[in-house]
Amino acid sequence: MERMLDSLYAVGVTELFLEVAKEAHRAFAFPVRALHGDRVPRAREG
């Protein structure tokens, strides 16, 4: 698990997500406006 997470970090999670989203768009041809890249961090306490 640690090596996998290190690999994801090395590639860049944002870049990886972008590639997955592009492949999904190619496969399913949904409108681009349906993509959402919310980069607002969410912290929860309690």
- With vertex at residue 36, the alpha carbon angle to CA 44 and CA 28, rounded to the nearest 5 degrees, is 130
Spell out the domain ranges in the chain.
2-34
Supply the pTM of this predicted model: 0.53
Distance, in Å, from the CA atom of 25 to the CA atom of 32, rounded to the nearest integer, reads 8
What per-residue confidence (pLDDT) applies to 27?
A: 94
**Mean pLDDT, 10 residues at a time, over the chain (46 residues)?**
89 87 87 64 64
